[in-house]
Structure 1
């Protein structure tokens, strides 16, 4: 019998694939290639003859067309292999709660870690499901090994069922998505797809065609250093300057105080000594105008703070990270419309949503490969409370298969 998505998922999550933003290489950690090599072996075993791992850790593969129609567009299905640096992904011990009967889930490795129904009301919809969690000492890796497992299971189904007609399907598994470099080295010419779908969303039935637009800001402060015993009227402590900037950030413009379509300014790192300090921040908004307004606000705050430190100086550097993929997808409405229909065919009521974050698809859309995001079924990403339903993963597999069929039928 073919492996289910859950069977595959349980194999993949025990392989440590955390990415590292401090590393300049691609992939940022060599251990990501350990999963890549396993995926290539499994793809070759199910009949994806051209499956291979490239020097950047990407896995490419092709399911050839089996339809006489020659006008079916080439579709790419994409997920990322790395897990987030936010919480440990080393020595993951997955737990399977079979036939979940409701209530809070206390994780065995750390009794203080409890997946509470009050915090995760989706659990009410998962009664009777087989729920996979970590033991509470690590994250699980459903983001995005659930997506990988679903693409793999769908690939095996399509290859084993030649009566299901479809066009050429390209598989792409990326590295370093969690640190914003997921598609830096993707060879789109080699990929050869017209458009794609990332399997990197959350709740079953969700299709997302919109993300934040995102920039990173680095503020480098040069203070005035002097012996603290002789500092009166002379010292300008760069650490204190950085603290003053952080203290003036609007309290209603943080990740923890915003939701829906509200953007935010979020400090992600601070380091320094008396002489110099560095502040790292990320800016998020659904519109370009909102993004630029928040960057202007941040720079004005910095300028105001610096007025109190006339001997000090600063640099303010903005780096573009990704843009709202809706700008591109609105020009290719059928990509989302077919996904909505595929979700319905797979037995769910489709829900269109916006991501308060980004996916590889955000970048790919602006690189010339329009990409919508489909649910993978995971919840509580980047935390030890991460969980996923085996049955929801099966629904994602069905959605991939129905999408492949739809594009062939309507070509």
Structure 2
């Protein structure tokens, strides 16, 4: 498959140089000017490539475009999704450096940062590739501009080869994924697909159909303040109640002791005095039943402290943040099994991995469109050591082409083999 690697490289570098960091506190849609700028550049690119039904909505800031079907068979439409924003690390004046035929040696990015295979062993897998990095004082933006470039490489290839049979393919480029706002706003009525894939992070061969279920909790404690010399039987110390609450949390259900499909509680903030105290924490779990039980545990713990110190001393407020798409996708295993068949055709080893965070696919799946995550071929995201290779982005393009081709032939005889971790 002759994917245009120069095109992918040129587009990736062009888009990385646009500052698209998102900002949670912003109320605009999208939350930064740079994201709007990049979405307009992408709109022009889709027009030049020849996609149809290109549309941009100021309400959700999603850019959509369709690669029209080339088959006469009745095939449902599929979609590929990537986000334009970057994380909360310096993204101003990004300078992309191209390291051709990477030889495995250390790369000095600047005076303070060295990209070394000793520190980052994943570099050993891309020896011989054309490696792209930033210059040490910014992130690169491979999360998720590598996904964008891979999707465009696929689009260019298919539109240049109309003899390849495929159904309708929709591309969706959206904002504010890093702050959890973008896909929550996405009007999926504009996205007429049966299922889709996000192209967000990950190594070649990865497929993640389960993410964390996520919630946050704010627990407040009300004390009674009296003079310490007269406190016997009267004082209630809010700070000590908060300490008691934290001490009662499971000792091993914490990030520093979790990996794979393990979840955790994380106390993110703790402040207080005798009069009042506050604990902020987050809850993460891959399993829906366990997630609900973990939330209930916190409520029960608050009730126990209230029973001990007096009704109304402890109040807890919870907010669900995102939901794993796993339950929905397990009911639609073809979405994942199709990827397995594509990987097999391309001699790629499939790896089911837990996505230890959230993706836009969480929100899109919750709206009824099963959306697991594939990969974009980069690594060390959200910081100065971020990198991706041209070959890995081109491999993503190949995978998307293969999925689109196979869907035509497997649509009528779907592989509904139950999914296993």
TM range (shorter): 0.7 to 0.9
- The yes-or-no answer on 1:60 pairing with 2:64 is yes
Change (3 A) 1:405 1:217: same
Deviation at 1:340, TM superposition (A): 1.4
- The yes-or-no answer on 1:17 pairing with 2:20 is yes
The answer (yes or no) to whether the contact 2:71–2:167 under 8 Å persists in 1 is yes
Change (3 A) 1:118 1:2: closer
**Cα distance between partner residues in 2 of 1:166 and 1:173:** 21
Matches within 5 A, 1:245-260: 245-246=245-246, 249-260=249-260
Matches within 5 A, 1:262-281: 262-269=262-269, 278-281=278-281
SS in 2 for 1:31: helix
Change (3 A) 1:119 1:60: same
Deviation at 1:307, TM superposition (A): 7.9
Residue 157 (structure 1) aligns with: 157
**Cα distance between partner residues in 2 of 1:251 and 1:151:** 43
Q: How many residues were matched structurally?
A: 404
Residue 84 (structure 1) aligns with: 87
Change (3 A) 1:72 1:254: same
Residue 72 (structure 1) aligns with: 75
Residue 407 (structure 2) aligns with: 407
**Cα distance between partner residues in 2 of 1:66 and 1:14:** 35
Residue 50 (structure 2) aligns with: 47
SS in 2 for 1:371: coil
Stretches of structure 1 lacking an aligned partner (at least 5 in a row): none
Change (3 A) 1:241 1:174: farther
Deviation at 1:328, TM superposition (A): 1.1
SS in 2 for 1:179: coil
Stretches of structure 2 lacking an aligned partner (at least 5 in a row): 412-421
Comparing 232-241 and 115-124, the one that deviates more? 232-241
Q: RMSD across aligned C-alpha pairs, in angstroms?
A: 2.8
SS in 1 for 2:395: helix
The answer (yes or no) to whether the contact 1:224–1:311 under 8 Å persists in 2 is no
Change (3 A) 1:239 1:372: same
**Cα distance between partner residues in 2 of 1:81 and 1:365:** 19
**Cα distance between partner residues in 2 of 1:231 and 1:41:** 70
Deviation at 1:310, TM superposition (A): 6.4
Deviation at 1:287, TM superposition (A): 0.9
Comparing 71-80 and 185-194, the one that deviates more? 185-194
Deviation at 1:297, TM superposition (A): 3.9
Matches within 5 A, 1:101-112: 101-108=103-110, 110-111=111-112
Deviation at 1:171, TM superposition (A): 0.9
**Cα distance between partner residues in 2 of 1:268 and 1:218:** 10
Deviation at 1:237, TM superposition (A): 7.4
Residue 169 (structure 1) aligns with: 169
Residue 372 (structure 2) aligns with: 372
Residue 185 (structure 1) aligns with: 185
SS in 2 for 1:189: helix
**Cα distance between partner residues in 1 of 2:284 and 2:7:** 37
Deviation at 1:347, TM superposition (A): 3.7
Using the size of structure 1 for normalisation, the TM-score is 0.88
Give CA deviations for 1:196-232 in whole Å, capped at 9, x if unaligned. Answer: 0111131111112222222222224455679xxx676
Residue 207 (structure 2) aligns with: 207
Using the size of structure 2 for normalisation, the TM-score is 0.86
SS in 2 for 1:178: coil
The answer (yes or no) to whether the contact 1:251–1:257 under 8 Å persists in 2 is no
Residue 100 (structure 1) aligns with: 102
The answer (yes or no) to whether the contact 1:72–1:408 under 8 Å persists in 2 is yes
